[in-house]
Structure 1
Amino acid sequence: MTDHLTVVDHPLVQHKLTQMRDKDTATPEFRRLLREISQLLAYEITREMELTTKTIQTPMQEMDAPVLKGKKLALVSILRAGNGLMDGVLELIPGARVGFVGLYRDEETLEPVQYYFKVPENMGDRLVIAVDPMLATGNSSAAAIDLLKEAGATNIRFMCLLAAPEGVAKMKEAHPDVPIVTASLDERLNEKGYIMPGLGDAGDRMFGTK
């Protein structure tokens, strides 16, 4: 663990991740596991959210009780695979505002190209959590964070299921102020840019498109 990268080594996270890596895990099970892991990762990434207090009446007496401070956080899915992580976090934080960043990779230049961008208002006043299951080369993730900063976000965190060393290095270079929370730092990228040992294409496995 570093200031920039947190690997959540909780036994439940690691057990569920192993099930997701297994190529024989079917789409419905993969989707369920992703939702469950996302909630466990969200627990870690929201650990330092600011609190204030409000006066409530319990069945026994009045008290000043802790509540989240400030505007609702913004949860931003990097399409399309980010939606799988987002669903689980929303179950945990149903009041979160939701945004979407759509990027695809130009096959000639290998650079990310934006095709969709919609985020909540007042991004500068919110904790912003960007989610994408795979941090591989880091190019798309870094480009997505660029867009969020252009929209005014200043307090951003990035949550992913798997990270490759190359992607972590790219993000640290491009956005050293954005902490990363992941379930695993894997070994490397292969020649096609897939994380090894990885779990294949998260989007295809989640949506049953392959």
Structure 2
Amino acid sequence: MDHPLVAHKLTELRDSRTQEPTFRLLVADLVTLLSYEATRIVRVEEVSIRTPMAPTTGTRLAEPKPLVVPILRAGLGMLEGMIRMVPTAEVGFVGMARDEETLRPTTYAERLPKNLSGRQCFVLDPMLATGGSLAGCIEFLASRGAEDITCVCLISAPEGIAHVREFTEQHHIDCTLVVAAVDDHLDEHGYIVPGLGDAGDRLYGLID
């Protein structure tokens, strides 16, 4: 997303001197900006209302409500920013962890409707590195009938984008990706360079 405010807030996020409380606020602000673009194709319907002056018609979000799905744990830090923009959305979650040796994701928790047919889903994951976790979540949503999935990420690596693109094309899944920045590459440990470090640790601290 090419916008001066996005670039400014992202620079503050990247700075290693930015402390946890400020980091959390910046993430929420940045996600609100990203969600403006992510919801550009959200479904709406015409509605009749009355202003203090006269009857008129307007627009409101259509049913069923959009579903916001943060990937635990770092995706939770993005939820506030998304809900600011779409306060009537419903919220589920998927817990995914990356095996640091194989770099493959495993699902350890979920709270989602059993049937997602006809639902627009917005997945929140701050770092699109290898793409394994995001592709795993997309596959999980698609297996429950989701056909319209938008993923919102703060920073991505070219390798992760390529993986998600290949996966969604191979499985014929309609998926849109909205990111604040595409960085240079992944290092040998699967971390984005220059990146911003571990988003979960910077949001919530180190948990051993």
Query: Is residue 78 of structure 2 the alignment partner of residue 85 of structure 1?
Result: yes
2:23 corresponds to 1:25:
no
Structure possessing the higher relative contact order (Cα contacts under 8 Å, 6 or more residues apart): 1
1:200 maps to 197
Unaligned runs of 5+ in 1: 1-7
* Range with bigger deviation, 145-154 or 131-140: 145-154
CA contact (8 A) 2:20 2:203 kept: yes
User: What corresponds to 1:166 in structure 2?
Assistant: 159
What does 1:26-45 align with in structure 2 at a 5 Å threshold? 26-45=19-38
Displacement of 1:64 in angstroms is 1.2
Q: Are 1:136 and 1:164, in contact at CA under 8 Å, matched by a contact in 2?
A: yes
Residue 184 in structure 1 maps to residue 151 in structure 2: no
For structure 2, list consecutive stretches of 5 or more residues without a partner in the other structure. Answer: none
Counterpart CA distance in 2 for 1:11 and 1:143 is 32
- What whole-Å deviation, never above 9, does each CA across 1:78-125 have from its counterpart, x for those lacking one? 110001111211122111111111111234443211110111354112
Aligned equivalents of 2:103 and 2:82: distance in 1? Answer: 30
Under a length normalisation based on structure 1, what TM-score does the superposition of the two structures give? Answer: 0.93
Report % sequence identity.
47
* Aligned residue in 1 for 2:61: 68
- Counterpart of 2:48 in structure 1 is 55
CA contact 2:103–2:190 (8 Å) conserved in 1: no
* Equivalence for 1:16: 9
Which residue of 2 is the match for residue 3 of structure 1? none
SS at match of 1:199: coil
Q: d(CA) in 2 for partners of 1:29 and 1:109?
A: 33
Q: 2:168 aligns with which of 175, 179, 194?
A: 175
Quote the Cα distance in structure 1 between the aligned partners of 2:10 and 2:102.
33
Does the 8 Å contact 1:74/1:120 carry over to 2?
no
Question: How many corresponding residue pairs?
Answer: 203
- CA distance, structure 2, for counterparts of residue 57 and residue 25 of structure 1: 47
Q: Give the Å deviation of 1:181.
A: 0.2
The alpha carbon displacement at 1:65 in A equals 1.1
| Distance change >3 Å, CA 108–CA 209, structure 1 → 2 | closer
Which one-letter code corresponds to 1:142 in the other structure?
A
| Among 137, 151, 160, the residue aligned to 2:144 | 151
Match of 2:91, SS state, is strand
Q: 1: CA distance between counterparts of 2:119 and 2:24?
A: 28
Conservation of the 8 A alpha-carbon contact between 2:117 and 2:146: yes
Rounded to whole Å, the distance in 2 between the matches of 1:188 and 1:13 is 21
